[in-house]
Amino acid sequence: MPELKVTQQHLEHDAYLYIRQSTPRQVVENTESTQRQYALRDRAVALGWPLERIHVLDCDLGKSGSQSAGRDGFQKLVSEVALGKAGLVMGLEVSRLARNSADWHRLIELCSLAGALILDEDGIYDPANFNDRLLLGLKGTMSEAELHFLKARMRGGMINKARRGELEMRPPVGLVYRDDGILILDPDAEVQAAMRLVFETFDRTGSAMQTAKLFHEQSLRFPRRIRKGLNKGELHWVRAAHSRILQVLHNPRYAGTFVYGRVRTRLLPDGRHSTIKVPRAEWQFVIPDVHVGYISWEQFETNQKRLAENALGFGVTRKAGPAREGPALLQGRVICGVCGERMSIHYNIAYHQMAPTYVCQEAAIRRAEKVCQRVPGSVVDQAMSNLLLELMQPMTLQVALAVQQEVEARVTETDGLRRKHVERAQYEAELARRRYMNVDPDRRLVADSLEAEWNNKLRILAEAQQQYEQQTQKQRLLIDTETRKQLLSLATDFPRVWNDPCVEPRERKRILRLLIEDVTLINGEMIQAHVRLRGGATRSLTLTKPLPIAQIRKTRPEVVAEIDALLDHHCDREVAEVLNRQGRKTWQDEPFNLKKIAHIRQAFNLKCRYSRLRAKGLLTAKEMSVRHGVTTTTINAWAREGRLKKHRYDNVRRCLYEPLEQNAILKGQGGRQAKQPIFNVARAGQGAV
């Protein structure tokens, strides 16, 4: 008899009844199964356990038994058995305790070690007994297989529907299911306008980041539908994030295509699920044109190609990338002619402006070797600009018309989206007004709440209208008469527009990429540039290397000779003034000044004005005072009165004096009080008074 397995040792421990249903729906609808599980307490009472020592663990109702993670009741049961507190473990079926063989055999092993019995609807089992343990293991395996069969049936039905493209999956924002199961565009016109603006902007700019920036610069919001929680299904308008724009661009459902198998989910050892994106070549089902979409399948393919090219600018390969802000015209399009690797860009400041240098540093990064080669970007970029102007001449008229149409289309797109936003705010304000008007005046609390909501909607409407008017005024400037004239002038004046400093480098790069595939550079005695154009045509250019900066900064010999001659009669400041009057400039195309003349004089070892005057025998005021026996003040006074001839030699008006004969001025008669110093006849004849 099964009752003979129950001994006094078992009765000294508690009995545990584990109750579980797989889903909340089963808990509500399959009440009979739940009652049968609770009825197992009577079996324990009949076997000798008192009612107060029978513990019911029913906190796992509505939880799947495929794993132990998340089942607090089962984990408590296992811990009680491991602590030796359980004498009997009850479950209506093995599937109620566990649908996983690992969890089931772990429980059997613990019961065997602790001496606990297992009871189900069929009988009592002793895990320490080999035959009972074999039977329990078989039941556990059958329970796990049953779950596998159930999942296989459900998955088979899903795969069959997916094969026909009829499987209903959660649609992304902008798409909704009708009552008959047909997937259509969201009836909300504002949502449709926002989604279309994403694809149109990306088609124009070729960058998901630029698409997100457009939403931010134009103060536009992006729709987001709440997927779970109390507000499930509601539509919210949030800031357009770059990651969200990428999700939209990568989702094939916006192209009207049914796709199944984009991700795979597997169970981790800790009970969590891991989702892995599957490569496009391994998608299980791809059925184009199943429902309406915002773009065609061909446009989706083009977008994926552009996104893949943009992604090459990141990660390990870094082969290319989208057009960025820097002035380097060939960014992402330069190949090293020595090793064949892509060349990166270094920027430095030269002549007060940013200058690019194309550097092949793949070997230095990966293998710690030397940099392969460096090519100055200013020379190469100028040559590519000239080549582009040559190639663009036959197309300027078409470009002008396309740009004008693009600007007008962009204004129309954003204006329509803002107008729909204002219409939505007007509708919500009117709806709040009707709610307030229909409320019973005696229900003051409700009326106050509805009045506050109405005021809030009116404030939102006023802000939306004000923002719409401001943005509309800005957009009108893009399509005024003067702007149209400037756009049409591209037909005859494209070089001026191309070289206009107001044009962003990003736009120049996009135009260049339409015609040039890549450029291979070799830096030797001359720079060799081999250009591969779109379509397979090639051009080879030989460019002269720029002069070294030392030669560029070196003063020309004729200027040095001019300065040397001027120093015989002028100080440094006067020399600079003379050169500026002559229209001469420095290597930086700037006027000369005192410091520049002094630097040139030192660099070319030119004698200064002071040394030249001293070489002619001129004396300082101190030397003159010692020679003639007077003070320096007297010497300076005589110079001011014109009795001594002085020559200025520096920029603070210090002077040297032409010497006189030793007895030309008599001591004691040339002081400050002397009216007429005595000069000899010879000196007086030379003009001295």
Question: Could you report the per-residue pLDDT of 618-671, keeping only the tens digit for each?
Answer: 888 888 888 778 888 888 888 888 788 888 777 667 888 888 765 555 444 444
Split at pLDDT 50, 70, 90, the class of 243 is confident
CA angle 284, 289, 295 (to 5 degrees): 105
User: Looking at per-residue confidence, does 279 or 653 come out higher?
Assistant: 279
Q: Which two tokens stand for residue 256?
A: 């009207």
User: Looking at per-residue confidence, does 577 or 472 come out higher?
Assistant: 577
Who contacts 255 (Cβ-Cβ below 8 Å, separation ≥6)?
288, 293, 294, 295, 296, 297, 299, 300
- Which region holds residue 342: left if phi is over 0, alpha if psi is between -120 and 50, else beta? beta
Q: How far apart are CA 573 and CA 650, in angstroms?
A: 8
Q: Which of 279, 264, 224, 217 is nearest to 247 (CA)?
A: 224
For 640-665, letters b (16+ CB in 10 Å) and e give eeebbebbbbeeeeebbbebbeeebb
CATH fold of the domain at 167-311: Hect, E3 ligase catalytic domain fold (3.90.1750)
Task: State CA 337 to chain mean position distance.
Answer: 31
Kindly report the number of other CB atoms within 10 A of residue 22's CB atom.
20
Q: Which residue has the tokens 């001129």?
A: 618
**Catalytic-role residue among 22, 68, 95, 143:** 22
Question: Could you report the per-residue pLDDT of 606-622, keeping only the tens digit for each?
Answer: 888 888 888 888 888 88
Domain map (residue ranges) of the chain: 2-159, 167-311, 322-510, 607-689
* 402, 451 Cβ separation under 8 angstroms: no
The yes-or-no answer on residue 22 being catalytic is yes
CATH of domain 2-159: 3.40.50.1390
Where in 456-610 does DSSP place strands (E)? 516-523, 527-533, 538-543
Q: What's the mean pLDDT when you consider all of the chain?
A: 80
Handedness of CA 568, 573, 576, 580 (dihedral sign): negative
Q: Tell me if domain 2-159 and domain 167-311 are identical in fold.
A: no
- Please report how the helices 242-250 and 297-311 are oriented relative to each other, as an axis angle in degrees rounded to 10: 130
Q: Which two tokens stand for residue 432?
A: 């709040």
Question: Could you report the per-residue pLDDT of 57-66, keeping only the tens digit for each?
Answer: 988 888 887 7
For 529-554, letters b (16+ CB in 10 Å) and e give bebbeeeeeebebebeeeeeeeeeee
Q: Which two tokens stand for residue 155?
A: 């998955």
pTM value is 0.49
